[in-house]
Structure 1
Amino acid sequence: MTSVRTWDLDDGDAQFMAGVTDDTFDFVFSSHCLEHLHDPLEGLTHWLRVTKPGGYVIFALPEEDLYEQGTFPSTFNRDHKNTFTIAKARSWSDRSINILDMLRALPVTAAVEKVELLDETYRYDLPRYDQTMTPVGESGIEVVIRKRSAAEVAQGARQRSATQPSREMRLHLNQYRDDQTTIRASNPDNPPFRNDQDL
């Protein structure tokens, strides 16, 4: 069973994690928290520390151009300590944090699985307005990090299971391999993906 625990943050930033031992949780989820920390890298490092190997840290935070929209301190949330971007050579904000740089600074146990701009429902044609107040105004960045095991870190590659899958799974996977071999053997003079004739 997955452990679930929540915290309220204060200006102590990551000190709220001080009483949590390493490798405790299967996952840590944070929605719009890092922007309230004075040192978001410290907070993220602690979240990774308390996550079990093979577990996940998932977080979302506001993207500076979509949420703060060129003004900092933030008009829409005065408690924001920093602004965030996925990767820009230059930012209008003197408190801008490049997410990719922050992720590179994490310990080697951090395997970044996803970094995504959440703007599918953002209305770029509106004047300056807090779109998160609407039901559809995504304005953020989502990141998924998997915590690597010690063996994975040592080998420098994701570990594969040595245990064979169930008979049913082996039947299906071996059939794919057999089908590919049969197709190649039955058509040796016409390799795939060579026919570029007009349709």
Structure 2
Amino acid sequence: MKETSKSVARRVRQPEFITRYFVGQGLDIGNGTDPLSLYGEQFPAMTACKIWDIVDGDLQHLTGLADSTFDFVHAAFILQKMASPLEALRHWLRVLKPGGHLVVLVPDEDMYEQGHWPSRHNPEHRWTFTPFKPKSWSPVSVNLLETVTALGIQAELRRLEVLEGSYRHRLPRFDQTLTPVGEAAIEMVIRKRPQPEAVAGGRLNPEGPLSARDIFVLTGLRVEQPKG
């Protein structure tokens, strides 16, 4: 319930969302009632954010959207409704430009479904999610670490965090996302590696010398310039 809105107060305290993740033109998948675009003031590097909801077309395959179109893609509490989470993530990465970021929020299976399947809180849910565990009570559990690995060499995992800061583990079972603060979620950020970087197997800084002034500014160390 209003998971994007809940996330804003947390995200504005994390510089990556302002300076790296929500930069340029984005796509907001399945979020027509709580769009990220409402918070452009909080993320000033976000120049635009297109909503893509059911009225616009298929949410899993994004049919009609060209490859490498958006600087970032955002999806909050929609992946659990897809026929195939892995296939959805592949297409969400497909429309992302190389170097861009895919930001996904999903319900954590222990905090949201709380050991019950089918879901007691939302009958539209097809899957449950865990960042990683060797055994799950859920017959439809999706292990996110394994899923990102299956996306291939262009998928660089930048963030995988269980959001339990506002969750109350001692309360009896109920849907805590109905409260104004409860997230009960996992946040995942995947960067789409440019092809040369993916082939090389890593992200490396460019070659080139630093001036003595640059070194001093960065480190506080003075370097003698060669005489000649």
Aligned-residue CA RMSD (Å) = 2.6
Mapping of 1:160-179 within 5 angstroms?
160-161=205-206, 171=213, 173-177=215-219, 179=221
For 1:140, the equivalent position in structure 2 comes to 185
Question: How far apart are residue 101 of structure 1 and its match?
Answer: 0.9
Distance 2:183 2:219 in 1: 43
For 2:17, the equivalent position in structure 1 comes to none
Distance 2:112 2:203 in 1: 36
- Closer, same or farther: CA 176–66 of 1 in aligned 2, 3 Å: same
Distance 2:214 2:166 in 1: 40
Distance 1:127 1:119 in 2: 16
For 1:24, the equivalent position in structure 2 comes to 69
Q: Which of the residues 106, 111, 119 maps onto 1:74?
A: 119
Q: Tell whether the 8 Å contact from 1:14 to 1:46 is kept in structure 2 after alignment.
A: yes
Secondary structure, aligned partner of 1:5: strand
For structure 1, list consecutive stretches of 5 or more residues without a partner in the other structure: 182-199
Distance 1:146 1:25 in 2: 12
Distance 1:112 1:94 in 2: 25
Distance 1:134 1:52 in 2: 36
Structure of greater Rg? 1
- Closer, same or farther: CA 33–180 of 1 in aligned 2, 3 Å: farther
- TM-score normalised by the chain length of structure 2: 0.71
Distance 1:84 1:7 in 2: 23
For 1:193, the equivalent position in structure 2 comes to none
For structure 2, list consecutive stretches of 5 or more residues without a partner in the other structure: 1-23, 26-47, 224-228
Report whether the alignment pairs 1:124 with 2:166.
no
Question: How far apart are residue 13 of structure 1 and its match?
Answer: 5.2
Mapping of 1:175-194 within 5 angstroms?
175-177=217-219, 179=221
Please tell me the residue identity of whatever aligns with 2:158: E
| 1:46-87 Cα shifts (integer Å, max 9, x gaps) | 011110011000000000000000111111111000111111
Please tell me the residue identity of whatever aligns with 1:128: R
| 1:140-162 Cα shifts (integer Å, max 9, x gaps) | 00000111011101221214245
Report whether the alignment pairs 1:157 with 2:219.
no
Q: Which runs of 4+ in 1 moved over 6 A?
A: none
Please tell me the residue identity of whatever aligns with 1:85: T
Report whether the alignment pairs 1:85 with 2:130.
yes
Secondary structure, aligned partner of 1:108: coil
Q: How many residues align?
A: 178
